[in-house]
Amino acid sequence: MTDLVAVDIGGTHARFVIASVGADGTISLGEPETLHTKDHASFQTAWEDFRERQGGTLPPRAALSVAGPVGGEVIRFTNNPWIIRPSLMQSKLGVDQFTIVNDFAAVAHAVARAPDDQFLHITGPDRPLASEGTISLIGPGTGLGVAHLWRAGSEYRVTATEGGHIDFAPLDSIEDAILARLRKSHNRVSIERVVSGPAIGPIRQTLAAMEGRPVTEEDDVTLWTRGMEDRDSLAAAAVDRFCLSLGSVAGDIALAQGGFGGVVIAGGLGYRLREHLPRSGFAERFRAKGRFSELMADIPVKLIVHPQPGLFGAAAAFAKQHLETVS
């Protein structure tokens, strides 16, 4: 049994946990601790806080999932002021081994290792993700994460991408109108502008304009809540429209990556939509790829429901890099 500290660092929160990797590769997590990034001057002070909460000692191994690019001598976060210098991990934190991966790459590692019961079936044939071939991942949240993994039995490889920044392609007159509205603010409209949490506002504003209805400014969380609870007809219509676009984009990503072994929806927003997606127009849009409709209909689409995919995936990434018998 190998113990390590797994950390999932975002813009607002840093989640810490003691993870264990068994000789057979089984990964288990203890009880996570969630710290607010604004309450700590640096990652080191947050680490020290967690260490005190654990009685003053931690395993000399760490696995970090970070929201942002992970290359170079200095790692900077997308939405918080912390920095990490990998070359100082040992002297600053007292770790002998460590792994640092992009947050969505960590999710891909989680998908590779999570058992079948951690996935909710959305559409396509109701069978497990393929054990051989490519699996595509897409995760709507504050932005849009895109990655893929290739696996052959117990072996797998993860590739993080910037697929959320490919061009948005409207498929009907409503999406034409959404694109036109977004073009007023952005010279180039990527799929992330339409398939992410903040997109709910522009989508709702577009629908309101089409009906000549005034709309008040609302924050994203309020709009999502009112839309999914059907307490605001325009917000509910925007949620439905979002699901259509998500289906189109997920299908495009699968075609581009060759993700015929399955597609996984991840991310906090994806999880919130777990009851809405199966009864929305997601499935029809996912399959609607012209000559490839039959191929698309044979791809299982799942939603990962693991409660801590970032922490689980960070531990999996560590195991893959450092524990050669666990690959």
Q: Are 91 and 98 in contact (CB under 8 A)?
A: no
Judge whether 12 is annotated as a binding position. Answer: yes
Query: Within 10 Å of residue 115's Cβ, how many Cβ atoms?
Result: 9
Residues in the chain: 327
Outline which parts of the chain fall under CATH 3.40.367.20: 163-304
Does residue 84 sit in helix, strand or coil? strand
Q: How far apart are CA 19 and CA 3, in angstroms?
A: 6
Q: For residue 116, what pLDDT is reported?
A: 92
pLDDT greater than 50 at residue 327: no
Q: Which two tokens stand for residue 322?
A: 């450092």
CATH number of 2-111+306-322: 3.30.420.40
Task: Give the chain's mean pLDDT.
Answer: 93
CA distance readout (Å), 9 to 3, 30, 194, 280:
19, 17, 25, 32
Arithmetic mean of pLDDT, 205-217: 89
Domain with CATH 3.30.420.40 in the chain: 2-111+306-322
Determine phi and psi for 232, rounding to 5 degrees: -150, 110
DSSP codes, 98-128: EEEEEHHHHHHHHHHHS-GGGEEEEESSSSP
- Give 74-83 pLDDT, tens digit per residue: 988 767 889 8
- State how far Cα 204 lies from the chain centre: 24
User: What's residue 299's pLDDT?
Assistant: 98
Q: Which architecture, in CATH terms, is 163-304? A: 3-Layer(aba) Sandwich (3.40)
- CA–CA gap between residue 19 and residue 283 (Å, rounded): 36
Over residues 279-306, the mean pLDDT reads 96
* pLDDT tens sequence across 131-150: 999 999 999 988 899 999 99
User: CA 97, CA 291: separation in Å to the nearest integer?
Assistant: 49
CA separation for the pair 10, 77 (Å, rounded): 8
Residue 12 pLDDT class (50, 70, 90 cuts)? confident
Average pLDDT rounded to a whole number, residues 247-276: 95
CB 224 within 8 A of CB 272: yes
* Secondary structure (DSSP) of 6-58: EEEE-SSEEEEEEEEE-TT--EEE---EEEEGGG-SSHHHHHHHHHHHTTS--
Q: Determine whether the annotation assigns residue 9 to a binding site.
A: yes
DSSP class of residue 167?
B
The verdict on whether residue 7 carries a ligand-binding annotation is yes
State residue 299 phi and psi, 5-degree precision.
-100, 120
**Residue 26 is labelled as binding a ligand:** no
pTM of the predicted model over 0.85: yes
What is the pLDDT confidence band of residue 324, given thresholds at 50, 70 and 90? low
Q: Is 10 annotated as a binding residue?
A: yes
Asked whether residue 11 carries a pLDDT value surpassing 90, the answer given is no
pLDDT at 283: 97
In tens, the pLDDT along 101-110 reads 988 999 999 9
